[in-house]
Chain A
Amino acid sequence: MTRGLRLFYICFILFLLALPIIVVTGISLNEGRSLRFPPEGLSLRWYGALFQEGDWLQPLRHSLIIALSASLLSVTIALPLALYVWSRGNWLGRALHTLGIAPFMLPPVITALGFLVFWVSVGMYGQMLATIISHAIFLVTLPVVTISLGLRSIDMALVEAARTMGASRGQILRGVILPLIMPYIISGFAFAFVLSLNEYIVAYMVAGFTVETLPIKIFNSLRYGYTPIMGVVAVLFVALAIVVFGLIGRYGDLPRLMGSDRSGER
């Protein structure tokens, strides 16, 4: 197949993927309360409304607090985990690696239900802290994967060289290893942040009726009355994801981060 045809196929699929987003963007620009495409009268009023209407502002605040705390927490768990797995090939290392990968591999409904019964048993059902911790565990896979990738790319000679120059274990960790994997830590954090912001089922099952997040709010609006603000949220989420992943792509090697090693060792 010729190069042009291949590019056409890729662009066509990307167009299909963009189609719903284009329509939703159009909807978010409606002047009135109706969800029309093409929009009837162009206006940004619903973008303002998201930040003014109390029943959307509160979920926005919840979502941001949860995403920020949860992604920080998941990096805090993932970093020592990845370091341990990287440095030791024993049974605990292997078990930890599986535990770190598992949350994202299983259907999220199961994990969500697990969290539900757990928080009910502990007596924290319906609290924001429960949502934060649940998200941190659920999304821990992402920083685990990115940080492990970063650790694998470290040339062991660097660590050996630091040792011969008299660096202690802590000094090597702080002075050599952490700076080298910092981009991977940051991208792990960014991945977890974006996905937590978008996450619905875990947040819903753990505290859906008390701590409303934006996805939950959208889902409720799907049932109890559409408004163009839903489109606004969708557009902002897509835009944020593009900015975050775009930045990672701009300052890092995204194909490499996604597992292509053409630019790598071999």
Chain B
Amino acid sequence: MDEVLPEEFDVILIGTGLPESVLSGALSRIGKNVLHVDSNEYYGGSWASFNIKTFDKLMSETQMHQEDNSNPVNLEALISEDEEFLLMSASQQNLSNCQSYCYLSKQPDWVVATNVVEPNVVAEPDEVEISDDKDSPVDVATTAPTMVQKHSDTEDLSCRDVDFEERNNSDNDNEKPGVSDKQSGDPAKEKSTDNDSRNGQVDAFNNATSEEKLENASDQSSQADLPHKETPLFPFYEKFYENWRRFNLDLSPKVMFSRGQLVELLIQSNVCRYLEFRNVTRTLTVLSGENRLQPVPCSRADVFKSKFVTVVEKRILMRFLTLCANFEQHPQEYEAYKDRPFQDFLQSKHLSTKVQHFIIHSIAMVSEQTSTMEGLHATQKFLKSLGRYGSSHAFLCPMYGVGELPQAFSRLSAVFGGTFCLRRRVIGIVADKTSRAVKGVIDSTGQKIKCQHLVLDESHLPDICRSGFKREVSRAIYVTDKSVSPSETEEVSLITLPPVGNFPLYRVIEAGPLCCLSPNNYYVVHALTKPSCVDENAIVDLKETFHSAEKTMFAGTAAELEIANNNESDKQKPAVLWAAYFNMMSCGVNNDSLPGNVYVMSSPGFELGFDKAMNEARRTFEIICPDEEFLPRAPEPEEIVFDDEGYKSENNGNSRENPNEQPEAGNGDYMETEEDLQEEEEPDVQGLIDQEQGVGDHVSDGNGDNA
């Protein structure tokens, strides 16, 4: 970590998020000398994915890991008179209001007793302790209120420190805000009003009143004394965490438009060979007034088999989509609506309310008030992606999480000679006083490294270059026991929950073992929404923010359902076993105070796809290297000729290096591995064997002449 780096680079990049990594790969690829540093010990920054234990840790530590114990750097010695020093922001954390919960109960004694050899229990000393605790069940009952007290204490600190071991030791039900209000007596005023309104309004998700729940909770803990051996509804806490490594939880879940810039770039640059992908297999939404997820007919096949729209609606929808696919050629169709809301235009095309909903929320993914032009472009973008991989799919998502993407581009950069250094913090920028151009950086070891260009991710901006700091995305991650809408084969779903009443719009991505985001029989549900609160400093209860989405998708938390014990719980809907909530912050850039050769990459944001990040990387590349090609195809290993001085030149330079790296199938075949995994009877995933069909369903019109 403290090794001394070379003194000068063409470009220094700080932060290994996606746009920085793409840029780093592109620059290395054309031979630029690149240093890429990240203060974290992992790749990806705000784009990273973590296993569940790391995620828990992240949720509990984010606010405190700022303390810097490195030796103070003597700046005076490093900065000459004509230079100025811009201090990097001390707080580089862009997550706030983090909290995570596990709703599963600990393994009771009788299970441990019958199952002593369970390796997990032995392996994890913490958990052995816990089962020791359980030896005296009375303890559990008495510790419960104490834990609640502690919980509400931490809540006052605006960040809930989550300590899983302890928390699960107590009864899980204590997690509920209603209960903690009761116990701690007097929390913040707005909080209690929140809870009141919630209790009044919501029934399915939060069925019992706080008092009842408390009773139920004590009932249950007393029942726990008796060795009842019926099969529990949910896996035990220990069982759940047994496979902690097999969770890949994204900080910024996104999906790729099959014909979006990222996919093109992955093919063009051959970076795709480092990655594997899955189709998003279905799109779901909830119609207004209903509380049930239903599939959105997007492709011809979807429209054909949909049972939720009449045949006439099908026709009108198909006609509309065909128009959108190449609307530019029919200006007369939308001229009059150009500057009017998209919804007006849809109405003029006689689309039913239901079909309008599908188009606005799930296909174009805009709002009712979006202008017609914007709506048409968004619809077209979707349709262009439809059918590229698999006839009725428009999106791909990377396996093992979004965090794989920045790593793949970083790998490209490293292959082409980029220098990477994790756990290295840059404390400030050195700029020329007169030209205001950046000359280099100083890292926490006190080394001064020169560069021509400096690329930063947003969270590393020097304080004086920032303008404002706001919550950009509110996030919830759930681990559930089944899909939100179970079907025969495992699906990857994109779900839009349109705004209802005071609740905002949510975008939800659900995936599971198929994408290697979770162990078998668990699903990961990512929910995103834009924070509605105007006051940036107000503490928002994120659980409250996501309440409406939870109510629609889930039966309740595992803890709640165990208490309800089958009563009234919706058997169809999944139970939440684990949940995390946080905000992702973003700051504005004050361009006036930013030196000219410094480029700032934005945070992931609310955008569903990757186009914004790709544009940013490409634009920056074009400024730094105006006449160079952006990510030309990287050669396959067998095409690489090593003409290292003397090393292989006698050999005609033709010998194959790196025998371990299997040459992979040609360009665009990056779905190949997919097939192998699919071998065991997974008929639906036919999609991914490079089935590029040229044009999406709605774009092609040659379909008719087949017989």
A, B assembled together: no
